[in-house]
Amino acid sequence: MTDLNRRHLLAGAAAVGAAAVTGLGPITARASVPPSGTQAPGFYRYKVGSLECTSINDGARTFPMPDKFVVNAPKDEALAAGEAAYMPKGMVTVPFNPQLINTGSKLVLIDAGNGAANLEPSKGAVGRTLQNLAAAGVDPKSIDVVLLSHLHPDHTNGIRLADGALAFPNAEIMVPGKDWEFWTSEDNAAKAESNAMMKNYFANVKKTFAGLESKVTKYEWGKEVAPGITSIATPGHTPGHTSFAVASGDAKVLIQSDVTNIPEFFLRNPDWHVVFDTDAALAQQTRHKFYDMAAAEKATVIGFHFTFPSVGHVEKDGAKYRLIPSAWNPTI
């Protein structure tokens, strides 16, 4: 084996420099095509039995880590977790990945992303669901069901276009009944007046769903909400937060929604509480219950806030868990 050390690297660099000065080295290549400056489309297909599924990237936000992003841990520990995951220093990156399920009889979009209205203000960072659906060859008018896991803005706002029109005009909008009951309650909204984040959540639900009552169907836990898709109770993040089992034949995947926010923090440290949880203690219990099940079943897990394409497996690691991303599959 070649012993490659710093002295060898410096010697090599000096030789290249000398060759360039004397004109004896290779001519520097110049690209004939300028850099595109744009990212490739964000969609990834995978099969669950006979069902074709597509992970649709809505983008990712990178922002300075708030002091209480992790409510019950020192900020230094949270920053260290970010650096261990090679996030930009002092920052946190949160991806967003809705899922499209072709059941054979229906096209079901699970969660809708941040919405097209956020595409330009974020300089293309989020709100990319519609353009990535188009890249995947999917007409928004062909979506039969928009199945929402809960009613936070990064999951619901994509049902509207920037001008307020419906992004999926022919779709039935399905919401967890417990979440709808909580977020549409005037009494609950009044109690949240002193909490800026919660106040915004209530206002956003009111604005997003205004006039849509006739298109909204409330679903329950433990039911088949669409062909091959069963709702799973995973409360805590919100009162009605829901995950889904997608099954066909002997194959099954678990679409966890927001059982955890970014796994580098809250899957590795399942007892940490993210600031966005409505009932942090219940969310913590749910994480352990859900991931114990996923690890025992060796189930494929899809996470809304996992790094795109958001497909992987969860293993127990003592009292913690770790995510094993699935290898990219060039075929379906």
What is the rounded distance in angstroms from the CA atom of residue 219 to the CA atom of residue 221? Answer: 7
Instruction: For residues 85-104, give the mean pLDDT.
Output: 97
What is the rounded distance in angstroms from the CA atom of residue 65 to the CA atom of residue 90? Answer: 6
Structure-token pair, residue 147:
């199945």
Residue ranges of domains in the chain: 42-325
Tens-place pLDDT, residues 117-172: 999 999 999 999 999 999 999 999 999 999 999 999 999 999 999 999 999 999 99
pLDDT value at position 18? Answer: 46
Residue 100, beta-bridge partner list: 54, 109
With a CB cutoff of 8 Å and minimum separation 6, the contacts of 167 are: 112, 115, 116, 130, 140, 158, 159, 160, 161
* DSSP structure class, residue 221: T
Q: Three-state SS for 232?
A: strand
pLDDT value at position 21? Answer: 47
pLDDT value at position 5? Answer: 59
Tens-place pLDDT, residues 17-65: 444 444 555 556 566 888 888 889 999 999 999 999 999 999 999 999 9
Residue 246, beta-bridge partner list: 229, 253
What is the rounded distance in angstroms from the CA atom of residue 61 to the CA atom of residue 307? Answer: 12
* Residue bearing tokens 């909008």: 173
Multiple choice CATH, 42-325, 3.60.15.10, 3.40.50.720, 3.40.50.1100, 3.20.20.330: 3.60.15.10
pLDDT value at position 16? Answer: 44
Identity at 293, one-letter amino acid code: M
What is the rounded distance in angstroms from the CA atom of residue 325 to the CA atom of residue 332? Answer: 17
Q: How far apart are the first and last CA of the chain?
A: 39
Do the Cβ atoms of 228 and 250 come closer than 8 Å?
no
Tens-place pLDDT, residues 211-233: 998 889 999 999 999 999 999 99
pLDDT value at position 213? Answer: 86
pLDDT for residue 85 is more than 80: yes
With a CB cutoff of 8 Å and minimum separation 6, the contacts of 102 are: 51, 52, 53, 54, 108
Do the Cβ atoms of 309 and 154 come closer than 8 Å?
no
pLDDT value at position 116? Answer: 97
Tens-place pLDDT, residues 302-331: 999 999 999 999 999 999 999 999 999 999
pLDDT value at position 189? Answer: 97
**Which pLDDT band, with edges at 50, 70 and 90, does 105 fall under?**
very high
132, containing H or E segment: helix 129-135
Structure-token pair, residue 99:
């899922």
Instruction: For residues 276-283, give the mean pLDDT.
Output: 98
* Residue bearing tokens 């795109």: 308
Tens-place pLDDT, residues 4-18: 555 554 554 444 444
pLDDT for residue 97 is more than 90: yes
Tens-place pLDDT, residues 170-226: 999 999 999 999 999 999 999 999 999 999 999 999 999 999 988 899 999 999 999
Instruction: For residues 238-265, give the mean pLDDT.
Output: 98
Instruction: For residues 78-95, give the mean pLDDT.
Output: 97
Q: What are phi and psi of 173, to 5 degrees?
A: -105, 120
pLDDT value at position 36? Answer: 87
